[in-house]
């Protein structure tokens, strides 16, 4: 059996997603406008906050905006590429259409993960990149940024996307055992909300705050997913410095664990014909 050309398959998926979006152009435009309004509301909120304080635990206005843009880049890639597919996984199980995915001569996890794209959310990357560029310009950082910093930043963005994908596909895989896992998706949103803020905001806080910082830095290191690449592009000192290694190792481990959980779940799947 010939090995499938994965890049060509991705192109087909992207083209099909574009065709679907253009069939409902009104919905596409409404989603883009809604996301733009949410983006504007976030900017207004933190502009008001920084109008009253100079910095928040070592993060000035434009440093935080660069952090926020980094978080948007990671989250929008997750929400536009992987979330529609992971959310549809339980529906494939319920209807028995997972049988057809298993029969296709291509890796099942690849097919489940990339079949649909939410192109409306993908347009939010323009807002994120604009905010990042504006923030770095206000910080006069372009004259100091090196090629190595940019390369490291992009690699860490990729690692952040991979880490969140591993978490999401692991939760999606539990649909085979639980049937519906809406509560687990709620758990994903509630937990990942901590990644919207820099890790250092928990410094000097109460014991509960420090406990959260430790748990979400080492056991489930979602605080590092955005904080580490933001420190790199801003050339801020990361304390402790080995947190970058923690993020890289956690991403690699998470990817292997999620792969193992996915295959273990498929072994428990009973087809619609059985």
Res 104 pLDDT > 70 = yes
**Is-contact 162 251, C-beta < 8 A?**
yes
Both structure tokens of 171: 């939760």
In the chain, the percentage of residues whose pLDDT exceeds 70 is: 93
Residue 100 has a pLDDT of 86
Res 235 pLDDT > 80 = yes
pLDDT in tens, 166-182: 998 998 888 888 766 66
The residues near 170 (Cβ < 8 Å, ≥ 6 apart) are 254, 257, 258, 261, 262
In the chain, the percentage of residues whose pLDDT exceeds 90 is: 40
pLDDT in tens, 39-89: 999 999 999 999 999 888 889 999 999 999 999 999 999 988 998 888 888
Residue 193 has a pLDDT of 83
Residue 186 has a pLDDT of 72
Residue 156 has a pLDDT of 96
Res 155 pLDDT > 90 = yes
Res 18 pLDDT > 90 = no
Residue 194 has a pLDDT of 83
Report, as an integer, the average pLDDT of 5-31.
Answer: 84
Res 268 pLDDT > 90 = no
Report, as an integer, the average pLDDT of 122-135.
Answer: 92
Instruction: Kindly write down the DSSP assignment for every residue of the chain, as one continuous string.
Output: -PPP-HHHHHHHHHHHHHHHHHHTHHHHHHHHHHHHHHHHHHHHHHHHHHTT-SEETTEEHHHHHHHHHHHHHHHHHIIIIIHHHHHHHHHHHHHTTHHHHHHSSS-HHHHHHHS---HHHHTHHHHHHHHHHHHHHHTT-TTT--HHHHHHHHHHHHHHHHHHHHHHHHHHHTHHHHS--HHHHHHHHHHHGGGGS-GGGGTT--HHHHHHHHIIIIIS-HHHHHHHHHHHHHTPPPSSTTHHHHHHHHHHHHHHHHHHHHHHHHHH---TT-
Domain ranges of the chain: 6-49+58-268
Q: How confident is the model at residue 183 (pLDDT cuts 50, 70, 90)?
A: low
């Amino acid at each position: 059996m010939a090995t499938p050309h994965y890049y060509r398959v991705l192109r087909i998926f992207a083209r099909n997603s574009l065709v679907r979006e253009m069939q409902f152009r009104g919905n596409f435009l409404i989603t883009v406008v809604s996301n733009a309004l949410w983006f504007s509301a976030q900017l207004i909120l933190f502009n008001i906050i920084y109008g009253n304080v100079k910095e928040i635990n070592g993060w000035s206005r434009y440093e935080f905006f660069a952090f926020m843009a980094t978080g948007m880049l990671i989250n929008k890639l997750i929400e536009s590429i992987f979330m529609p597919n992971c959310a549809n996984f339980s529906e494939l199980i319920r209807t028995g259409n997972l049988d057809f995915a298993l029969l296709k001569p291509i890796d099942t996890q690849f097919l489940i993960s990339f079949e649909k794209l939410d192109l409306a959310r993908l347009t939010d990357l323009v807002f994120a990149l604009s905010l990042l560029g504006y923030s770095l310009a206000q910080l006069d950082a372009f004259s100091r940024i090196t090629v190595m910093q940019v390369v490291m930043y992009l690699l860490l963005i990729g690692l952040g996307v991979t880490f969140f994908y591993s978490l999401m596909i692991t939760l999606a895989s539990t649909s085979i055992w639980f049937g519906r896992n809406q509560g687990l998706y709620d758990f994903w949103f509630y937990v990942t909300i901590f990644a919207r803020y820099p890790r250092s905001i928990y410094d000097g806080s109460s014991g509960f705050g420090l406990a959260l910082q430790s748990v979400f830095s080492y056991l489930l290191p979602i605080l590092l997913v955005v904080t580490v690449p933001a420190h790199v592009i801003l050339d801020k000192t990361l304390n402790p410095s080995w947190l970058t290694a923690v993020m890289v190792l956690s991403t690699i481990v998470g990817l292997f664990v999620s792969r193992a959980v996915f295959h273990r779940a498929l072994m428990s799947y009973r087809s619609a014909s059985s």
